[in-house]
Amino acid sequence: MSKPFADRIALVTGASRGIGAELALLLAQAGAHVVAVARTAGGLEELDDKIKAAGGSATLVPVDMKDADGIARLALALNERYGKLDVMVGNAGILGPLSPLDHVERKDFENSMAVNVTANWWLIRTMDALLKRSDAGRAVFITSGLSWLGRAYTGPYAAAKAALNMLVQTYAAESANTSVKVNAFSPGPTRTRMYAGGWPGVDPATLTPPEDVAKAIVPLC
């Protein structure tokens, strides 16, 4: 198998399962050293086993994306060890409550914003300098069609992803004259635990498997 990502350092958040895990595995198979970030240590260990079996390498970082100090420490560690970052994928996200807006608890709304928006801004804030030290830095953020569809009961998630879209668009404009390319990717309905939790009545067989979504993201990396 060709190794187009040889000598590349790729950070993937939400890497313990679903799209993030599949993408991390593909990048490792293609030669990247993957920095896998997620809250669930067990899921990261399972991913590491798969990466090792495929002949790849990874660094596991069990940290909550809301832990700003933890992400900042990660950026410092990457700077000390590698001096750069070639790929950054902001995949971690939460669905939050599917409820009428006037029934949503404040803490749930703020949590959705913290994970889906603020954490990705903090990634940009802490990792941008490292991406700019790559000869071809790439940043990809996972968004959702719900951010522009205006569907009932999806308010916190849809509003957060809409804010993420503008954050990414702004970052792309600010990076236009650098070696960093920035994109948002909307996977559509995907066979993940998060989707099943929100729409349990949908037949999983009708949904795109996460490995197919991951394959579509790789070219953006």
Give the active site residues: 157
By DSSP bridging, strand 33-38 and strand 138-142 are: unpaired
For 112, counting Cβ atoms within 10 Å of its Cβ (0-12 exposed, 13-18 middle, 19+ buried), the class is buried
The DSSP H or E segment spanning 34 is strand 33-38
Alpha-carbon distance values, 151 to 116, 132, 145, 209 (Å): 18, 38, 10, 23
Angle in degrees, CA 127, 121, 108, rounded to 5: 135
